[in-house]
Amino acid sequence: MERKEFRELITSEDARRIVNQIKVLSGTEFVHVGNATGRILAEDVLSTVDVPAFNRSVKDGYAVRARDTYMATEPEPASLRLTGSIPAGCADSFFVNDGEAIEISTGAPIPEGSDAVIMVEQTKQAEDIVQIYQPVHIAENIMRAGSDIMKGERVLRKNTRLGSREIGVLASIGKMEVPVKKLLVGIISTGDELIEPGTELQPGKIFDANSYAIAANVEECGAVPRMYGIVPDEEKLMEAALDRAIAECNIVLTSGSTSAGIGDIMYKIIEEKGETLAHGIAIKPGKPVVIGMINGVPTIGLPGNPTSALSIFNEFVAPIIYNSLGVAPAFKTRVSAVMGTAIRSGGREELFPVGVVRGRAYPADKTSGAITTLADADGIIEIRAQTEYIEAGSPVEVTMFGNARSPDLMFVGGQCPGVDLLEDLTGKMIRTLNMGSSAGFTAIAGGTTDIAGVNMPDAQGEYNLPVIRKMGLTDVVLVKGYRRELGLIFRPSAKVTCFEDLIGMRLINRNRGSGTRTILDMEIGRLAAQKGISRAELAKSIEGYNSGSKTHRSVCDAVKDGRADAGFGLRAAAEEAGLAFLPVTEDEFDFVIRKDVLDAEEVILFLSTLNSKAFSERLPAGLRTYERTGEMISSFEMG
């Protein structure tokens, strides 16, 4: 099949110029004040009532005539006759005469005849006599009708974004139906591989993340998303979906299928139906972006990768929405950070996804195309085309995705339920990148994590320390963690009585670089030695040996649904999945921590939690603390 090459990419400045000129007309609708958060007011709102609607007391005390109190002093109090009591919300009418007082609550209407309220603290009451110890002046402690909001007053201006404060104002004037702008943004996800979240995941498929992420972003901008669901990579179907969306919406967004690949036909449809304003922007990841206009409806094809889709949305779609709604781009939350590690770029301007942990920005682009990147990215930094290298420690500005809360601690390494427990017990938010022990060591060496979680033995079975020595890591400490029971995981129906039974079963292995995989290799080596053959030879005879699943949980999933017969991993994971477990060995799961974060409050808490009784007691089956738990090794003889 013929592959269409990209036309000339336009510069990001030109793309910005194009989108800044696009403005569409929005409609108006009335929504209940309870559903108006984030929407944009379509009209000025004038109050039809006074707030408060009556003169009211701002203190608990007594409604009096001020002149009756003018002579009152501590030693010679004025005595007034108590004639009644007015609670808040009371609608009865009362009258205060000379020499009288009426008890009154905060928020209650001031009775006729009274012109001041004396606070209860400056009085003493006995039977129906109130002693007043201090004078009050006229109007003291009285809030006059309309002093907050006056009838006829404009309380909110057209084009105001409705947040908690504005919603409160609307409710306080009794306005329940609010006129807001209705800018409908149609959203179409394309791709044969997509399925609807909430349905069962099929082999080779991924859940459609973009429809929901983009819809949320549209809402955050103050517009109204309308989802058209998933459309397969088929020209006729895509065309039909686009036709519908364009007929119904003010703006249409698609994601996926924008690169010039086979079956990627989005741009072609825009070309045929309307006018293409840009096909590819010279910004990373803007290459697969189409900006077009079909029947006056801006139609933008976003990249399929979810992080890319959101980055491009923020940069080139949000401005169109803001222009059309007549609001300032209020939702760009920028935070200052310093680069936690150096990054290379260059050639093209770049929207570079980063995670932000305690003010340090880390690259989050480990594998473009992975949804996990979206989970690990808090925002993007904009890198200019001329910038080739950003040094670690350089200040950067991060444009956050929505109002993401950035985590307190960064963890890279092997997946372990013990780490989940540490996160729960510390109450801190730990970003865990479960990529295996080797990735943990690499990240700690590169300064891209605070903590690495590792279980990597050397040939003699010594855990982790030899790796630190070999890598020459000097600015870290090793903190001994806990021991974990590892063994064969299989369905309860299978007959497995010893490690050797693995031979003849289909294995789901862990990823290369995982400590657990290395430990399995050692066990395979031991068995091979008994049989008098090489480890490689024995490994080759095990079906599935070359597979690589990233977590203990995903190993269990594969065994559970029959994709494999056996896995090697944690008892805790096997039990959680309802699978059978044959213990084989125990490993040591440790933490490597950068010295420069040892003083951080979050790290101190992490370590004290590791040493706590609560942690020992609540560890899941097969995990146990031991005499070395919490031991800190900080100097290493380099080998």
The residues of the shown chain that bind Mg ion, judged by CB under 5 A, are 191, 256-257
Residues lying near ligand AMP in the complex (CB under 6 A):
189, 191, 193-194, 206, 208-210, 255-259, 288, 303-306, 369
Distance in Å, CB of 189 to ligand AMP, minimum? 4
Measured from the CB atom, the residue of 233 and 365 that comes closer to Mg ion is 233
H helices present in 328-416, as ranges: 371-376
Distance in Å, CB of 370 to ligand AMP, minimum? 8
Strands 129-132 and 78-86: antiparallel
Distance from C-alpha of 559 to C-alpha of 563, rounded to nearest angstrom: 6
Measured from the CB atom, the residue of 228 and 362 that comes closer to ligand AMP is 228
Distance in Å, CB of 216 to ligand AMP, minimum? 13
Any idea what DSSP says for residue 342? -
Contacts 24+ apart (CB under 8 A), 340-343: 340/392, 340/447, 340/448, 341/392, 341/446, 341/447, 341/448, 342/389, 342/390, 342/391, 342/392, 343/383, 343/389, 343/390
303 binds, among ligand AMP, Mg ion, none (CB under 5 to 8 A by kind): ligand AMP
Distance in Å, CB of 4 to ligand AMP, minimum? 14
Measured from the CB atom, the residue of 267 and 411 that comes closer to ligand AMP is 267
CB 328 within 8 A of CB 322: yes
C-alpha dihedral, 628 to 632 to 636 to 639, nearest 10°: 40
Measured from the CB atom, the residue of 258 and 399 that comes closer to Mg ion is 258
Distance in Å, CB of 548 to ligand AMP, minimum? 19
- C-alpha of 339 from chain center: 20
306 binds, among Mg ion, ligand AMP, none (CB under 5 to 8 A by kind): ligand AMP
586 binds, among ligand AMP, Mg ion, none (CB under 5 to 8 A by kind): none
Tokens coding 633: 């090794």
206 binds, among ligand AMP, Mg ion, none (CB under 5 to 8 A by kind): ligand AMP
The helix/strand/coil state of 624 is strand
CB 589 within 8 A of CB 482: yes
**DSSP string for 275-299:** EEEEE-BSEETTTT-EEEEETTEEE
Count CB neighbours of 293 within 10 A: 18
- Main-chain dihedrals φ then ψ at residue 427, nearest 5 degrees: 75, 5
Distance from C-alpha of 255 to C-alpha of 380, rounded to nearest angstrom: 19
Distance from C-alpha of 130 to C-alpha of 77, rounded to nearest angstrom: 9
Distance from C-alpha of 187 to C-alpha of 242, rounded to nearest angstrom: 9
- Strands (DSSP E) contained in 460-543 are 476-490, 507-508
Distance in Å, CB of 34 to ligand AMP, minimum? 31
C-alpha distances out from residue 548 to 354, 489, 513, 564, 585, Å: 26, 15, 10, 12, 20
Q: Which residue is nearest to ligand AMP (CB)?
A: 304
- Main-chain dihedrals φ then ψ at residue 424, nearest 5 degrees: -60, -45
Distance in Å, CB of 279 to ligand AMP, minimum? 14
Measured from the CB atom, the residue of 225 and 256 that comes closer to Mg ion is 256
Distance from C-alpha of 100 to C-alpha of 114, rounded to nearest angstrom: 9
449 binds, among ligand AMP, Mg ion, none (CB under 5 to 8 A by kind): none
Measured from the CB atom, the residue of 192 and 382 that comes closer to Mg ion is 192
Measured from the CB atom, the residue of 377 and 410 that comes closer to ligand AMP is 377
Distance in Å, CB of 304 to ligand AMP, minimum? 2
Distance in Å, CB of 429 to ligand AMP, minimum? 24
Distance in Å, CB of 388 to ligand AMP, minimum? 27
Question: Which residue type is seen at 618?
Answer: R
189 binds, among ligand AMP, Mg ion, none (CB under 5 to 8 A by kind): ligand AMP
259 binds, among ligand AMP, Mg ion, none (CB under 5 to 8 A by kind): ligand AMP
Measured from the CB atom, the residue of 204 and 492 that comes closer to ligand AMP is 204
194 binds, among Mg ion, ligand AMP, none (CB under 5 to 8 A by kind): ligand AMP
C-alpha distances out from residue 258 to 4, 270, 290, 300, 305, Å: 11, 11, 7, 10, 11
26 binds, among ligand AMP, Mg ion, none (CB under 5 to 8 A by kind): none
C-alpha distances out from residue 571 to 21, 279, 483, 578, 631, Å: 60, 52, 12, 10, 25
Measured from the CB atom, the residue of 114 and 190 that comes closer to Mg ion is 190
Q: Which residue is nearest to Mg ion (CB)?
A: 191
437 binds, among ligand AMP, Mg ion, none (CB under 5 to 8 A by kind): none
61 binds, among Mg ion, ligand AMP, none (CB under 5 to 8 A by kind): none
Distance from C-alpha of 514 to C-alpha of 438, rounded to nearest angstrom: 6
432 binds, among Mg ion, ligand AMP, none (CB under 5 to 8 A by kind): none
CB 310 within 8 A of CB 213: yes
Distance in Å, CB of 374 to ligand AMP, minimum? 9
Residues 6+ apart with CB under 8 A from 462: none
C-alpha distances out from residue 49 to 153, 170, 178, 618, Å: 9, 11, 16, 59
Measured from the CB atom, the residue of 186 and 569 that comes closer to ligand AMP is 186
Measured from the CB atom, the residue of 253 and 488 that comes closer to ligand AMP is 253
Measured from the CB atom, the residue of 369 and 583 that comes closer to ligand AMP is 369
Distance in Å, CB of 629 to ligand AMP, minimum? 41
Tokens coding 403: 């109002």
457 binds, among Mg ion, ligand AMP, none (CB under 5 to 8 A by kind): none
Measured from the CB atom, the residue of 14 and 192 that comes closer to Mg ion is 192
CB 607 within 8 A of CB 599: no
Measured from the CB atom, the residue of 373 and 415 that comes closer to Mg ion is 373
Distance in Å, CB of 208 to ligand AMP, minimum? 4
- Main-chain dihedrals φ then ψ at residue 495, nearest 5 degrees: -105, 105
Distance in Å, CB of 258 to Mg ion, minimum? 8
518 binds, among Mg ion, ligand AMP, none (CB under 5 to 8 A by kind): none
